[in-house]
Structures are given as structure tokens and as C-alpha cells.
A and B are shown apart, each in its own frame.
Chain A
Amino acid sequence: MRRGSTGLNLVSGLAMLFLYGPIFVLVLYSFNAAHLSMAWRGATLKWYAALMHDEALLAATANSLLIAVVSTLGATCLGGLIALGMERMPRRRQQVIEGGLVLPLVIPEVMMGVSLMLFFVMLNMPLGLTTVILGHIVFNIPLVTIMLRTRLRKLDPALGEAAADLGASSWQVFRYVTLPLLRPALWGAILVAFTVSLDDFLVTFFTAGPGATTLPLKVYSMIKSGVTPEINALSALLLVISMTCVGLSLHLQRREVSVPPRLQRMGVFFFCLLGLAGSFSACGQSPAGDTAESRPVLHYFTWSDYVGPEIIQEFERREQVNVVIDTFSSNEELLAKLQSGATGYDVAVPSDFMVAIMIQQDLLSELDQQELPNASLLEPHLQSLHFDPERRYSVPYLWGTVGIGYDSAVIPTAPDSWSILWDPRYTGRISMLNDQREVFGAVLRSMGQSMNSTDPQVIEAAKEQLLRQKPLVKTYTSDHYDQLLASGEVVLAHGWGGPVARAMAERPSIRYVVPKEGATVWADCLVVLRTAPQKRLAMRFINFLMEPEVAARTSERLRFASASRRAREQVGGSTRENPAIYPPLDQLDRLEWMRDVGRAIRLYDRAWTELKMQ
């Protein structure tokens, strides 16, 4: 293409720029001194230093790489067989199968994950790395087949026949005719499968067993405690290593040319990746030594970074056990996973409304109060909660409120009412939670109603209010309003106290208020699962987490209030006095627990969808 090649090169260059623009930004921000801010706050290497000590993150990366490499190989072989087999079929059959191959791409990932998991549970296969790899092979097969078909459909069958006429065996035809012709499509398929596998979240979540956490599982689960620039540092590091691998394989390929060069280059590259996975998992292993194998293992299912690594190490030392942490990123995911029969987890941390559901579904084990002396040191108002008044199944762990975070530099007089979120002066500078119950809850309270109302007319009226508010709202988000507040992108944020407290640490003019009309109170609770293999150890773990000194440290770290009243006495004054972390006790009577509204959920759901589509 002699003519037009300048134009082609130009567009290609632009496309590459487009691909690498955000990558440049994320590498740059791995050196950003600020934890949350989207603005630049000076250079630092601290995220790289933190990364080197984050064993859990490195282990998750190693898992991800291993799963991606193995499942890519598996899917490429199987997908290749399917694609080759299809070539021999009549055209109509091919079209039917082609349609069938597209289907798995359309099946919602949740369903794919849940049904695969049900399948493995039915077969009595313990969930772990193997099941994740199988799951990834399943969703990668259609991708590989579609890629290979793009090549095979234009392949001249006469080539293979000619080779056969010349006395080639069918293996030789495949090896020396079909394979070389397929090679570009094979690279493509391998790259697509590897990439999709590396970044998959939902199928991985459901097919993973205790101890098989991958990088995406970890990152998505950080939503509650905030995604740190450590992830950027890790990404930058992986990028540099990948680039080095590319260079290395190029270099090696120049030396010996006996093997088909292109495939070999690819092979060397993936070999490097496997080596990387190995070295990461070596770094990621806990330094407990060789006795570690024989120790009992406790499986803790929680939010990412919900407990400090040094606290876990302390428990491991004290009890001579190993603690393996797995993560989830929403209560509903936790429920779906346990309901489908996933076992092996001992202790989990569901939120209040989910504890109620889990008790109903018989997923929890009764607690042995004798083993839990620290659980009696609870704040008075948390001692008997509506979903478990005698604390037979759950121990409140962390709690807090929903309110408004605001920038006092822009809004000098402290707002005391939800109505500030309807103030046109702040158009485009307001963020709301992306959570239908919380958003409706705020409006319902401001209307003097219960946030658990099931009255269609009341919900309809609340929807009208929200429609009126929508033009003022910049974004509905439950996961990055701390960043938006810290970088001044919004000046009013409807949200949980903890993230607002995180934003305060970076922008001191941020304040938090629970409006006078009332708001949500929540509590995350420690529970022991009915299927827990280590029930006694689980009790001791819960008791340990509730130890005033340990609970106080957790509270300071996460910026959520501990349910232990002794911990409140032990935390630093700046934490205790911060209303975003420790709700003032004189405000307790304006708080309300979110409850399951039964069938009325459809009213909320429809109203929410209408709000979004307006």
C-alpha cells in the first residue's frame, strides 16, 4: 500500500497513543505522594517500598499469572481442536456452532460463575486454583475459537490435500502445513485469552476456593478501604518486567534459529512470565518457616485490607496457626457464594442486614459465649441488635453512620440538613452513593419517613425529590467519593464516614455531619460459618479481634469505629473526636438500621431505574 501509508501510520500512531495514554498516567501516579487525590502532590517511592512488603498482594499476583498462563494453554489447545473440527463440518452445522460459541459471551458473568461453581460443588471438587483454571478455560474457549476461525475460514483445503498426496501423514500435514498457516491466529488467540484471564473478576470469584485469591479479586475488594497507589506501583512494575521479557526473548531469538522463530519467541516470553509468577509467590509466602505446613489453618473471608497484616501475624504467633485471608467485594457476592455451597471458610464479616439473611438461610454457626469474653465489652447500643438480639450468631465488629462529607473551605456554615444536597449553588459539585437503598433512605428521612418505608406513595414522592436533585449531582458513586472530596472535584458527598475521614487526612478542610433528620447506622459483624472446619479456632480469632488493644489498632487503621467500648477508650483523641469515625453518642437517637423491605424492594428498584434513565 504505497499511497495512503502516511495516513495509515498516522492513525496507527494515534491509536497507540490512545492505548498508552492512561498507562502513562497510572505509572506517573505510582510516584504520587498523595494517597487518594487525583491531583499531583509530589514524587515519592513509598508505594514501591510498601509493595515489597505486601506479601498478600504479591501472592495474589503470582496466582493471577499462573492461572492466566495455564488456562491460556488449555483454552488454546481445546479451542484449536474445536476450530479445526468445525472446518470438516457442513456449512450449516458450522453456523449453528458458531452461534453457540457466541452464546457464552452473552451469558451474564455472574451466572457463568455461579453455575460453574454449582457444577464443581456437585462433582465434589474442592474449590481452589484448579477450579479457577478450569473456569477460565471455559470462558476462553469461545474467544480462541472465534480468533482461529477468522484464519481457518480463508484457508485453502487444497494445501493440506496436496501435502497428503505427497505422502504426508495427518500429523505431518497438521505440523508442517496447517500449524504454520495458523500461527498468526494462534498468537492472537493466545494474547486475547491471556489478557481476558488475567483481568477476570466474577468467574474467578465464584470458582476460587480458600487461599486462591487473585489480583483482580484483591483490587475490587479494596473498594471499602480504598484502592491504594500500591496497585499502580505493581502495575508499573509488571509493565517494566513484561517489556524486559519482550526484549529478552528478542535477544535470545537472534542467537539460535533452529526452532520456528516466532513461536519460540512467544514461548520464551511466557516462560519468563511463569518464572515471574514463581518468584512472586516465593516473595509472597509468609516467612513462617518449614513448620508452617503442619499448623492448623484458619480461613478468614473479608474485605481487602480489613485487618492489618501485623495483627494477623500476632495471632499466628500466639496460637501457632496460619491465617489465610480471602476477599469479597460485596455482601451479596458473599451470600451467593456461600449459598451455592462453597465451604472451607471459617470466619466472615457480613454487614448487619446480611447477617439477618444469613441467619435465616442457616449459614451461620452458633457462637460459644464462653470463648468470647471480649465480646461482652461492646458499646451499650450495639449489645442487642434487631437481627440477632442475643448475639447467638454474630459479634458486632466495626460500625458507623452514613452522612454528608463537605468541604468547609467552600461551605463555611456547617450544614445540618439533607436539604443542602438540593442547594443549586452546588450544582455539579455533589456526589451521591450509588446505592438505591441509601439514596432513598436519605430522602425518606428528610421527608420525615422511615428509610424502610414500604408505602408506594411515599417511595413515589421520594423519587420525585431525587429526580429534582439529579441535575445537581455530578456522580453516583459508592467507591471513590473519598478521592473526589480529597481532590476538590466535589464539595458535598453523601457517604459512609470512613471514606470521608480518609479524605480529611488529605484535605483538612473536609468535615462530616449526620443530618438532623436522621441517617443510616451500620455494623459489620464477625460470624462463624456453619461449615467452618475450625470452629474453636474461629472463636479464638473473633475473641482476639475484639481484644480492646487489637480492636483499637484496627479502628485507627481503617477509620471506622470499633464496636468495643474499651477500644473507644484506647484510640487516639483525634480518632475518637472525629464524628466521621466515632459517631457522637448524643446523636444515636437519630440513626436507623437498614432492614430488608421484602417485596417492596421492587418499588425501590423500579424507582431507582427510572431515576437513572431520566
Chain B
Amino acid sequence: MGLFFLVPLGLVFAISFASRGTYGGIVWEFTSANYLDLLHPLYGKILGQSMWYASLTTAICFVLGFPLAYVIARSPVRWQPIFLLLVMLPFWTNFLVRTYAWMILLRHDGLMNRFVMALGVVDAPLELLYTPTAVVIGLVYGYLPFMVLPLYVAVERLDPLLVEAAWDLYASRWAVFMQVILPLTKPGIVGGCILVFIPSIGSFITPDLLGGARSMMIGNLIQHEYLVVRDWPLGSAVSFVLMTVVMAAVALYYRSASRTDGPWEGR
């Protein structure tokens, strides 16, 4: 099975040192020009911006997803699978169609604007569609369930008695969350964050459709190099840099996660 992962990986690595033929295709002569090209500040900007969007998406998914996972995990056992299915059902619709639905919601005289204007929050319609806000909304929407499911799994296992005990010891709400719930559900949080962060940093349809393609995320760049310019070597170099950065981030994350293991960790 490992072969299935190692072959693409090796291919990406090898191609990243080749060069593009005059009319596309891959010319197998060793060069580091692709990586040198990437030193241009332009690409740093794309990477930085993508990391920022992906982090923001992960954070919002956590804030929205944790309460939802908690409520599901604390609901009657027989209802839990139904609730989980209900969280997942919207995602059985084609991604493109769902994104079009968001465009209808967010456009100039779309439902969202009518709603906030009816509430009297704003007087003039907001420009929502084709903005970075729309991109983040789209990303959060796309990956929220991938946060909820691992969190649910972790919270389901959380012994309510421990939380009760904390309350009984007059812990503040914040302390209960930070010192009891959070450490005990850490594996789920780690899993959820990985499942949200990584796909969102590589996404390309959301920034194109909801962001109006006015900007680029690293996923767009990769997609563009592979399937528009047919510059596979440059695309591979970008991918490899992204992989390194993400792996480093994940390693750091794991390290910090295992260092702050709570008192209940060492079983």
C-alpha cells in the first residue's frame, strides 16, 4: 500500500528537478532552476496568504465545530449517528453546485444581503461575493464536517464525570474547558485540524469561484502549472515546497501537542 503513496511522491520529487520542454512535456535534465524561480517574493506572498487563509479557516471551523460536536456527543446515543449523518448530508451534493449556491447567497442582491438589510444591520448591500471573506466562508463551509467528526469521536469518549468533578471543584467555565475538556479531546483536535488545514491550503475551486480568481492560493498555482501552463516541473517544485512546509507545520504541531499533554495523558 505504501507503494501507492511513495510512487507519486517520488514522481513529484524527480519531476521538480527536470525542465519544461519547449512545447510542454518533461525534459529529463537535472536543474534546480525551478526552485530558484520560486525564490521570487511573489511565491512567498502566495504561500503566506494561503497559510493565513488556511489557519483562519481551521480556527473558525474549530470554534463552530466544537460546540456542534459536543452537543452531538452528549445527545442520546441512538440519535448520534443520525446527527452525524445530518452534518454530512449537505456534502453529498456536488461541490460545484454547492459553491454556485453560495454565489447565489452572497451576490449583490442575494439572500444574505437582503437578510442583513432587513435586520437593519446595514443600509446598503455589502460586497460579499468575490472578496477574501467569501473565500474564507467557502473554505469553512467546505471543511467544517472534517473538523466535527474527529471532534465528535474525541468528545464521545470524554467521561462526563470528569467535567462534573471540575464543576464541583468550582472551576470556572474557562478553566473547565482549558484544563479538562481540551487536554482530554486533544487527539480529536489534532486530527480535525489536520483534516481541515491541509485540504484548505491546497484548494483551488473556492478561491476561483467565490474569490473571483482575483487572487491566487497555492492550490491555484499548482493547478495552474499542471493543467494550464503544462509546466509540470515548476508545478512539482511548488508542490514539494508546500509539502515540506506542511510537514514541518504538522511536526511542530505534534511536538507541541505532546509536550503539553495533560495529567490524564500518561496512562
Co-assembled chains A and B: yes
Interface residues of A (CB under 8 A from B): 1-4, 7-9, 11-12, 14-16, 18-23, 25-26, 29, 38-39, 78, 82, 95, 98-100, 102-112, 114-116, 118-119, 138, 141, 143, 146-147, 149-151, 153-154, 156, 184-185, 187-188, 191-192, 194-195, 198-199, 201, 215-216, 219-220, 227, 231-232, 235, 238-239, 242-243, 246, 250, 253, 261-262, 265-266, 269, 330, 332-333, 335-336, 339, 357, 360-361, 428, 434-436, 470, 473-477, 480, 487, 489, 596, 598-599, 601-602, 605-606, 609-610, 612-613
Q: Answer whether residue B9 sits at the interface, using C-beta atoms and an 8 A cutoff.
A: yes
Asked if A184 and B96 make an inter-chain contact with CB atoms under 8 angstroms apart, the answer reads no
Select one of A15, A99, A476 contacting B251, CB under 8 A.
Answer: A99
Asked if B153 and A147 make an inter-chain contact with CB atoms under 8 angstroms apart, the answer reads yes
Given known pairs A147-B191, A188-B150, A598-B22, the reply for A8 and B67 (CB within 8 Å) is yes
Given known pairs A146-B150, A154-B157, A220-B96, the reply for A602 and B188 (CB within 8 Å) is no
Asked if B64 and A150 make an inter-chain contact with CB atoms under 8 angstroms apart, the answer reads no
A134: nearest chain-B partner, CB-CB:
B4
Interface readout for B79-93 with A: 1 if CB under 8 Å, 0 if not?
011101111111111
Asked if B92 and A195 make an inter-chain contact with CB atoms under 8 angstroms apart, the answer reads yes
Given known pairs A18-B64, A476-B212, A613-B45, the reply for A192 and B104 (CB within 8 Å) is no
CB distance from B139 to the nearest CB of A (A): 13
4 pairs of A and B residues whose beta carbons are closest in the complex: A475-B212, A22-B101, A115-B8, A11-B67
Asked if B242 and A106 make an inter-chain contact with CB atoms under 8 angstroms apart, the answer reads yes
B215: nearest chain-A partner, CB-CB:
A612
Within 8 A of A (CB), among B54-75: 63-65, 67-68, 70-72, 74
Chain A hits for B187, CB < 8 A: 149-151, 153-154
Q: Answer whether residue B28 sits at the interface, using C-beta atoms and an 8 A cutoff.
A: no
Asked if B239 and A195 make an inter-chain contact with CB atoms under 8 angstroms apart, the answer reads no
Place the interface of chain B in its size category. 35 or more
Given known pairs A105-B198, A191-B85, A191-B88, the reply for A119 and B213 (CB within 8 Å) is no
Q: Answer whether residue B254 sits at the interface, using C-beta atoms and an 8 A cutoff.
A: yes
User: Could you write out 10 A-B pairs with CB less than 8 Å apart?
Assistant: A16-B86, A22-B105, A112-B8, A115-B11, A119-B4, A146-B191, A150-B187, A195-B92, A357-B24, A613-B45
A333 to B188: give the CA distance in the assembly, Å: 37
Select one of A149, A428, A609 contacting B42, CB under 8 A.
Answer: A609
A3 to B65: give the CA distance in the assembly, Å: 19
CB distance from A367 to the nearest CB of B (A): 23
Chain A hits for B78, CB < 8 A: 253, 261-262
Q: With A1-B70, A156-B267 given, can you name 12 additional A-B contacts, CB distance below 8 Å?
A: A16-B68, A38-B103, A95-B254, A146-B194, A185-B153, A188-B153, A199-B95, A242-B85, A475-B213, A599-B20, A613-B45, A613-B46
Given known pairs A106-B247, A191-B149, the reply for A215 and B94 (CB within 8 Å) is yes
